């Protein structure tokens, strides 16, 4: 872990061990040039605490890029609770409160919200300890679910990608494989089905995919066959790093666009996709809908205003695709350049 921290480009790492639950708590604050850090809290079992810290760091970097790309005055941060196994409800509550107290002690430097493994109900627990939480409407005492907004962003992103690859954003008849039938995968599959796409569903919990498939008239794909199933669009909406050196050569799709954070195992995998003629929608751009929705809803903006703002992800992606095509490079390089230029400009004007 010393090595990880020493070689990280971020600002601060906060770590704690929760003896009660046996969980490690990490908060990674990557870059606060644009504003205080905001990013979700992930709860997961990791092989080693080091893997959890690395995940927090990489996810925090992704949040810096996400806020910069959408032009929000916020910085990149993320928290990870590395649990040894699924805790019982009371123990989970105590762990979340512990995180809440640590967040409170930062006095606004970092605010958390829902992410993989956490729910808006978890945010309700955290907000008893700190006001720096997204995903819970304090005034009305009810959850705010970013999932459908993330899904909308991915949906418009897929359309923008289809426009580039097929010359039309029309999704009727297009085959879209949604990997991960969760908070984002479910609403995304619904929108795709409504648009007339042929939806394929896959989930590690096969029953989940099957029952939604039933509802939507979509077929299911076994988890092991996701990377070899022919489709127009592969939409990773589960864990990260599914696009890696092993998978890239076998993919049978034309577009990769989904909601998962850190979809690429290494930045080089974007080159691998580019070389194979697969258009990659950079994850932190196409999945920014949730990040757009949480601060806006917290400020009391209407759902319509949020949806309008989320829909602009399509234009942003279109610009990034154009820039990449003009330079003959992968869209990730074009998106990364955008992020760097936003941050550099902010640093200069400080
Ligand atoms: N976890 C989601 C993301 O990474 C949504 C989120 C954004 C949660 C910002 C909290 C804060 O985009």
Residue 80: CATH number of its domain:
3.40.50.10860
Is there a domain that residue 63 lies in? no
Structure tokens at 295: 């601060």
Whether 209 and 317 share a structural domain: yes
Whether 333 and 257 share a structural domain: yes
Number of domains in the chain: 2
Span from the CA of 39 to the centroid of ligand 1 (angstroms): 5
Q: Which of 28, 115, 294 to mutate to test the pocket of ligand 1 (most atoms within 8 A of CB)?
A: 115
Is there a domain that residue 348 lies in? no
Is there a domain that residue 269 lies in? yes
Whether 110 and 160 share a structural domain: no
Residues 72, 32 contacting (CB under 8 angstroms) = no
Final residue of a structural domain among 95, 112, 143 = 143
Final residue of a structural domain among 95, 123, 143 = 143
Determine the structural domain holding residue 272 and report its residue range.
147-341
Whether 178 and 318 share a structural domain: yes
Distances (CA, A) of 303 to 90, 151, 174, 307, 308: 34, 14, 29, 6, 9
- The two beta strands, 142-143 and 219-220, are unpaired
Is there a domain that residue 64 lies in? no
Whether 238 and 300 share a structural domain: yes
Span from the CA of 115 to the centroid of ligand 1 (angstroms): 6
Q: What share of the chain is helix, strand, coil (3-state, %, to 5)?
A: 45, 15, 35
Span from the CA of 92 to the centroid of ligand 1 (angstroms): 20
Q: Among the residues of the chain, which ranges form H helices? A: 2-6, 49-70, 89-105, 120-126, 147-166, 185-194, 206-216, 268-275, 283-286, 289-298, 303-311, 313-327, 331-348
Whether 92 and 175 share a structural domain: no
pLDDT of residue 350: 83
Q: How would you write the pLDDT of the chain (350 residues) with one tens digit per residue?
A: 999 999 999 999 999 999 999 999 999 999 999 999 999 999 999 999 999 999 999 999 999 999 999 999 999 999 999 999 999 999 999 999 999 999 999 999 999 999 999 999 999 999 999 999 999 999 999 999 999 999 999 999 999 999 999 999 999 999 999 999 999 999 999 999 999 999 999 999 999 999 999 999 999 999 999 999 999 999 999 999 999 999 999 999 999 999 999 999 999 999 999 999 999 999 999 999 999 999 999 999 999 999 999 999 999 999 999 999 999 999 999 999 999 999 999 999 98
Query: What residues contact 24, with CB distance under 8 A and at least 6 apart?
Result: 15, 16, 17, 18, 49, 52, 53, 80, 81, 82
Residues 95, 23 contacting (CB under 8 angstroms) = yes
- The two beta strands, 12-18 and 23-31, are antiparallel
Span from the CA of 119 to the centroid of ligand 1 (angstroms): 12
Is 78 in the active site?
yes
Q: Which of 103, 111, 291 to mutate to test the pocket of ligand 1 (most atoms within 8 A of CB)?
A: 291
Residue 164: CATH number of its domain:
3.40.50.720
* Ligand 1 atom at minimum distance from 291 CA: 7
Whether 185 and 198 share a structural domain: yes
pLDDT of residue 285: 98
* Ligand 1 atom at minimum distance from 59 CA: 4
Q: What strands lie across the sheet with 219-220, from one edge to the other? A: 219-220, 198-202, 175-179, 233-236, 255-256, 279-280
Distances (CA, A) of 109 to 11, 30, 295, 297, 342: 11, 11, 15, 20, 20
Residues 313, 156 contacting (CB under 8 angstroms) = yes
Is there a domain that residue 323 lies in? yes
Neighbours of 217 (CB within 10 A): 9
Q: What is the dihedral of CA 151, 237, 58, 67, to 10 degrees?
A: -10
* Ligand 1 atom at minimum distance from 62 CA: 4
302 vs 297: CA distance, rounded Å: 7
Is there a domain that residue 346 lies in? no
pLDDT of residue 131: 97
Q: Ligand 1, atom 8: nearest CA belongs to which residue?
A: 40
Final residue of a structural domain among 85, 113, 143 = 143
Please list every protein residue whose CB sits less than 6 Å from any atom of ligand 1: 38-40, 113-115, 134, 146, 261, 287, 290-291, 294
Whether 170 and 47 share a structural domain: no
């Amino acid at each position: 872990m010393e090595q990880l921290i020493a070689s990280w480009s971020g600002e601060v790492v906060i770590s704690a061990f929760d003896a009660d639950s046996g969980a490690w708590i990490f908060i990674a604050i990557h870059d606060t040039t644009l504003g205080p850090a905001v990013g979700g809290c992930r709860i997961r079992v990791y092989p080693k605490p080091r893997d959890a810290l690395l995940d927090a760091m990489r996810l925090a970097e992704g949040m810096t890029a996400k806020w910069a790309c959408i032009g929000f005055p916020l910085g990149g941060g993320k928290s990870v609770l590395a649990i040894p196994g699924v805790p019982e409800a009371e123990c989970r509550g105590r762990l979340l409160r512990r995180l809440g107290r640590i967040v409170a002690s930062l006095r606004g430097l970092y605010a958390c919200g829902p992410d993989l493994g956490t729910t808006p109900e978890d945010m309700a627990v955290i907000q008893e300890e700190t006001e720096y939480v997204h995903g819970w409407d304090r005034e009305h005492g009810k959850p705010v679910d970013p999932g459908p907004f993330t899904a909308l962003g991915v949906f418009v992103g897929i359309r923008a990608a289809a426009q580039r690859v097929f010359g039309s954003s029309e999704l009727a008849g297009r085959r879209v494989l949604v990997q991960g039938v969760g908070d984002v995968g479910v609403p995304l599959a619904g929108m795709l089905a409504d648009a007339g796409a042929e939806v394929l569903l896959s989930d590690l919990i096969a029953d989940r995919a099957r029952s939604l498939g039933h509802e939507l008239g979509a077929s299911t794909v076994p988890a092991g066959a996701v990377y070899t199933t022919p489709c127009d669009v592969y939409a990773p909406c589960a864990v990260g790093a599914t696009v890696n050196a092993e998978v890239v050569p076998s993919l049978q799709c034309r577009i990769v666009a989904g909601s998962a954070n850190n979809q690429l195992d290494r930045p080089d995998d974007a080159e691998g996709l580019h070389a194979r003629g697969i258009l990659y929608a950079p994850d932190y751009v196409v999945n920014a809908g949730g990040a757009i929705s949480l601060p806006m809803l917290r400020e009391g903006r209407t759902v319509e205003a949020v949806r309008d703002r989320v829909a602009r992800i399509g234009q942003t992606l279109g610009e990034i695709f154009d820039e990449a095509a003009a330079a003959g490079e992968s869209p990730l390089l074009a998106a990364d350049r955008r992020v760097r230029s936003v941050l550099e400009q902010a640093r200069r004007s400080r």
